[in-house]
Each structure stands twice: as C-alpha cells, then as structure tokens.
Structure 1
Amino acid sequence: MKKTYNWAILGCGKIARKFAEDLGLLENAKLYAAASRSLYNAREFANDLGFEKAYGSYDEMVQDPEVDIVYIATPHAMHLAHSTLCLKHKKAVLCEKAFAMNTSEVDQMIKTSKEHNTFLMEAFWTIFSSKFNKVLELSKDKDLGQLRFVKSDFMFKADFDPDKRLYNIDLGAGSLLDIGIYPIFRSLMLLGKPDSIKTMANIRSTGVEDSISMLFGYKNGAMAVLTSSFESSCNNETELCFEHGFIKFVREPEFPILIEKNGVREEIYFEQPKGMGYELEAVHVMECLDKGLIESPVLPLSLSRELMEIMDAVRKDAGIVFPKHD
C-alpha cells in the first residue's frame, strides 16, 4: 500500500486552486492544510476544496509537524523566501515556476535543500506529460533528419493593472517569467542551451515587459523563435521543423500531435489525464519521497538552474530589470 502524504498549499490563488483540484484525484495525497496571509482566505480555500486545516500565516503552517509536502503558489518574487522557510522546517517543497527570480536565488534554494537534506523540485508539469514526452521521442526519429527550427508561442490577453501580479514589477511581473518560460523550456529540451540570444521586448513605462520575442542560435545552425505576450491571443502552437518533415502540437492534451515525415502526415491522439496534468507532478514528488530522494531524477535541480540561466540571459539582452532582485 502506498504511503499517504499530507499536502499543504502555501498561497491560495488561482493556480493553487487548480493544483489542489488535481491533487484531490490522488488516493495517497491528503488535502491537509491551506495557508494564506489572510486566515479568511485560507479558510475559504480549505472549505471549498476539502482541506482539513487552514492557517493565516505561513510560519504557523510550517510548524505543523503533520505537514509532509508544501506546494508553493505565491508570486515569483516570493519563491526564494517561501521555499527557504519550508526547507528549513524539513518540509518537502514543490515550488511553482518560474522557480525564482534569477540564478542566484535558485542557487540559494538548492543550497538550502542540500543543507537540510529536504526535497525540492520546480512545479513544471510539462515534463511529466505523456504528450510532450511523445514529442521528444518523435523528434529523435532519424527519418525526420536534423531539427533545424523550433517555433513556439504562449500568449493571452490580460488587462493592464500595475497592482496585480502580472504587471506588478515587485512581484516579478512580465510575460517572460510567467509564460515565456514554457517556450524556452521546450527549446531547451529539444535543442539544448543556446549559444546566442537576441530579443525584442515591449517594456511599459512601469518597467514591466508585457511582450517579448526571442531568437536563440546554436552552433550547429539550428534556431529557436519564441514569443510570449499578455497583449494578444493565438493558438499557442509549437512547431518543430526538420530536414524532412515537421511536428506541430499545442499544450492541451485533447488535441493531437501532427507529424509529417517525407510527405506523409499522421495525427497522434492521447488519452486525457484525469485532471489538468498537475497531478502528474504531485505523483512524481511522492514517488521520490517514497525512495528517500531529495531531488527529482526527471526534473533535476540542475535543469531548473539551466532554465533560469537562459532567462537571465534573455532579460539581460532585453533590458528587463527587477530593481529589488537584480
């Protein structure tokens, strides 16, 4: 019989609610505690989703000896402080992406995890998706030839409000850290770390970037063209262009992968997961803890660090600055 783990949610916003709904699908995951800076919000969240306890402070929650794993769903700018708080209290941590604000903060999180011998992983559900892993498998088909281009977008229209998370520079605002990380992750997994980076960004008077296009170059001649934006909508498609064909896909599991190889097209469909896919990362965290691991072999901390290094380089080229973190 699988061990049951008591989960706590730190930060009771929209993404936390989606994660908790998926977490509730797992037999060995107990919805134990919800923590917010507001006890009212924590109680409302806990009551809506079926958590056993509600805490009006994060400090109080981490002192609960029954908490096994904490899912951190606060804004990027708070990830270092909140991960550190949990790790120092020996609570396993699954921290939302972007993992932190920069590589220096990621290094501090990794150091704390090792010093306290406590599990730490970035919440990047894509790497556990059967659809994305099928794309990685298909991309290695020798009949397709060499991968020459990766084109990937993630956009949605958001109202400008400098006080809200997406546009508040003190919270790590901007499309790059929020959704641009997805196209960058795909290019990293498919082409590796780029050798050169060129960017074009739209930066508001408040210093927040709301749209950015990135061109990654590689020594073998391959390129990645990546875009994220809060200013427009599109079908958020990723296309891999090979010497002898292409692969197209969108992140939603209900849509097929389209592959063309030597003029022949095929659509590959997938059985939809029980939830939105967030349950897959939760399952993996518990499997790692069953084995006594403090780091995931699928999403190692070195990969999260490499991803952040790329985003640091993108920000440097684009002139994106977070005054309280840079």
Structure 2
Amino acid sequence: MTRWGILATGFIATRFVEDLRLLPDAEVAAVGSRSPEGAQRFADRHGIARAYGSWAELAADDSLDVVYVATPHAAHHAAATICLQAGRAVLVEKPFTLDRRSGAELIDLARSRDVFLMEAMWMRCNPLLRRVAELVADGAIGQVTTVAADFGAAGPFPPEHRMRARTLGGGALLDLGVYPVGLAHLLLGVPQQVRAFAQLSPEGVDENTGILLGYADGALATLSCGMVGATPLVASVTGTAGRIDLPAPFYRPPYATLHRDGAAPEVLPADLSGWGYQHEAAEVQRCLAAGLRESPLVPQRATLEVLGLLDDIRAQIGVDYA
C-alpha cells in the first residue's frame, strides 16, 4: 500500500484524490494546507485521517511514502523543497517550476537526498498518448513532418485572478501552453529553433501566444495557447506516410484516429475512467516499488528541457516573472 500525502486543497488536489480511489494499492493518508481549518475541511470531505495546518507538518509525517504538491505553480518550488528536505518522495504538479533554473534546483536537491521526484505531467502517463508516441517512434506514419496543437481558454479572467498576476507566473504559457509544448517534445524532442509571438496583457503576461518549433530533420511544430478565446483543444501529428489525429481534449483524448496511406482509418480507444490522474499516480507507485529515483515515463531530463523551451519562449515574447 502506498500512503499519499496531499499538499494543498484546491481543484486539482480534489480530482487527484478522487482518482487515487481507483488504485487499490493507494491510500490517501494525510493532507496539508497553510491553515488548519482548510486542511480539516478537505480531510472531512474526502475521509482523510490526518490534517495538518502547515506544509512542514505534512512533510514531517514519516508514515507517508510520497507527497503530491498541488499548489499553484508559483509555490511549487517552495513546497517541494520542504518535502524533499524532509526526505519525502514528491510528485509536483505541472508546470514543475516557473523556470528551468529553479527546476534544476529541485532535481539537484532530490538527488542529494536520494529521493524520488517527478513532474505530474499526466499527459506522458496517459496510456493512449503513450501508444501514439510508440506508433510515431516505430514509423507507423513515416517520418514526422508536423505536429500541431492548441490550448486556448475562453476567459475573460478578472484583473485579480492569478492568471493575470505576473509574479505568480500568470499568463497562458505555463498554465496551458505547457501542454502543446510538452506534446511536441514528447513526439519530436528538443527543437533546433524556437520562434514565438504573443499579445500581452496590461499586467505583462501573455494572453495569446503562437509558437513555431523547427527541428534538424525538417519537422515543424505549430503550437498556440491563449486565455482570450476557447480553441478546439485538438492536436495532430503528420508524417510522410500518414497522420494521427487527437480530438479534444488532446492531452486526455477519448480516442485517437490513425490514418495510414492506402488504409482505412483506425480508431484507437482510450481508458476514460476517472479524470485521468490515476495513471501518473500508478507510475509513481511503480517507481517507488522498484526503488527508482525518477520515472522513465516522465524523466527529469524531459522536465528540464520543456522548462528550457518555456524560458526561451518567454524571453522572445517579453514575459518576466521576477
């Protein structure tokens, strides 16, 4: 049985706890928040035995096998640092941190403490998306020529919303753009060239961003993210011998359609149980049982490479979280 601690009590934490119930070998043992009242309310709602009124108290609970950090991303570094320093294995909600430098600090700390650390990039643990990546790697659609993906939210977000707060890592890129960028990285790796364009808000965060990634073999990724209009949330990967389409939401698609030249389209079904977070939790539990310190599905190298791409994009569009 893997005993989980949940750090934070918001929307994502709620869905994650609900999905942990789908794993017979998972137990939600404790929750921690910045206030005892908030932690206790969450514990009562979800039947959790222990509630702590601080992150440090949760991290100090030696009975826990792993802590899931579900705070807004501006607090990921601080929360994960407390847990790692206490010797806890940690799953950190995506995006891992605000930038590559702080992400590398967490990874260095985990390695120095010899504990497991993984970004909760659930897209990389989704069974159907893993199958798509395998098909692409095996040449099912030939050599990849383009990857296209979009993630735009309708908004509008009021001025006081964290999505518009520059010092909290606001804007579309980290919340939404990490998905299309992460998909392109999963399928094509690190690009040779990055080009980005954006409309910025009065607060100085990106409201509507276009990204073009160019690869050494000639492949392109055309990506977009925004918070000024709901986009289709679809993706496709095209090769010299076919195409794979991912319907909305592409990061957790209900199915995928494989088009091979000269053959009828093939529909690949998905596991639609829960919200989809159970797959990343199961990967964490598998790694802990095997004594691993990082996941082969969500390697720390990939986390840092995507953060580096996001840093590059921000530098080009003029967004600074300092």
Which of 200, 212, 215 is matched with 2:212 structurally?
A: 215
CA displacement at 1:254 relative to structure 2: 6.2
Distance 2:19 2:90 in 1: 17
Distance 2:89 2:208 in 1: 34
Question: How far off is 1:264 after superposition?
Answer: 3.1
CA deviations 1:257-309 (Å, max 9, x no partner) are 12222243313232424322111111111111112222112211111111111
Distance 1:256 1:285 in 2: 24
Give the Cα separation in 2 of the matches to 1:98 and 1:290: 25
CA distance in 2, matches of 1:252, 1:96: 15
State the number of aligned residues. 320
- What is aligned with 2:261? 262
SS at match of 1:60: helix
From 65, 70, 91, the equivalent of 2:62 is: 65
CA displacement 1:145-190 (0-9 Å, x = unmatched):
3211111111221232233222222221111111101111111111
What SS does structure 2 have at the residue aligned with 1:163?
coil
* Structure 1 moving runs of 4+ over 4 Å: none
For the residues of structure 1 that align with 2:167 and 2:134, how far apart are their CA atoms? 40
Is 1:99 the counterpart of 2:99? The answer is: no
Relative distance call for 1:281 and 1:240 in structure 2 (3 A) is same
SS in 2 for 1:153: strand
SS of the residue corresponding to residue 221 of structure 2 reads strand
What residue number does 1:128 align with?
125
Check if 1:41 corresponds to 2:38. Answer: yes
Provide the C-alpha distance between the structure 2 equivalents of 1:39 and 1:235, rounded to a whole number of angstroms: 41
Aligned partners of 1:253 and 1:272 also within 8 Å: no
Q: What is the TM-score when the length of structure 2 is the normalising length?
A: 0.94
Q: Distance in 1 between matches of 2:321 and 2:226?
A: 18
SS in 2 for 1:239: strand
The residue number in structure 1 matching 2:105 is: 108
1:143 Cα deviation after fit: 6.0
Out of 239, 242, 246, the residue aligned to residue 245 of structure 1 is 242
> CA 1:193 to 1:253, structure 2 compared with 1: closer, same or farther past 3 Å?
closer
Distance 2:253 2:103 in 1: 34
Residues 49-87 of structure 1: per-residue CA shift (max 9 Å, x gap): 121111111112112222221100111111111111000
Higher mean C-alpha deviation, range 131-140 or range 258-267: 258-267
Q: Matches of residues 275-314 of structure 1 in structure 2 within 5 Å?
A: 275-314=274-313
Partner residue in 1 for 2:273: 274
Q: 1:181 aligns with which of 144, 159, 178?
A: 178
State the secondary structure of the residue aligned to 1:219: coil
User: Distance in 1 between the 2:37 and 2:278 partners?
Assistant: 26
Q: SS where residue 314 of structure 1 aligns? A: helix
**1:45/1:128 CA distance change after superposition, 3 Å:** same
CA deviations 1:90-147 (Å, max 9, x no partner) are 1110000100011110111011101111110000111111110121122245463321
Gaps of 5+ in 1: none
Out of 156, 163, 184, the residue aligned to residue 153 of structure 2 is: 156
Could you tell me how far apart the structure 2 residues matched to 1:287 and 1:166 are? 34
Aligned residue type for 1:321: D
What is the CA–CA distance in structure 1 between the aligned matches of 2:243 and 2:36, rounded to whole Å?
Answer: 51
In 2, distance between residues paired with 1:143 and 1:130?
17
What SS does the aligned partner of 2:67 have? Answer: strand
**Structure 2 residue 302 is the aligned partner of structure 1 residue 317:** no
Q: Is the 8 A contact 2:6 2:32 kept in 1?
A: yes
Please tell me whether the aligned partners of residues 76 and 172 of structure 1 are also in contact (alpha carbons under 8 angstroms): yes
Q: Distance in 2 between matches of 1:63 and 1:142?
A: 48
CA contact (8 A) 1:213 1:228 kept: yes
Give the match for residue 77 of structure 1.
74
Counterpart Cα distance in 2 of 1:254 and 1:296: 23
Structure 1 contact 75–172 (Cα < 8 Å) conserved: no
Change (3 A) 1:228 1:252: closer
Structure 1 residue 315 displacement after superposition:
0.9
SS in 2 for 1:306: helix
Letter of the structure 1 residue corresponding to residue 21 of structure 2: G
Q: Which amino acid aligns with 2:141?
A: L
% same residue: 34
**Match 1:14 to one of 5, 11, 25:** 11
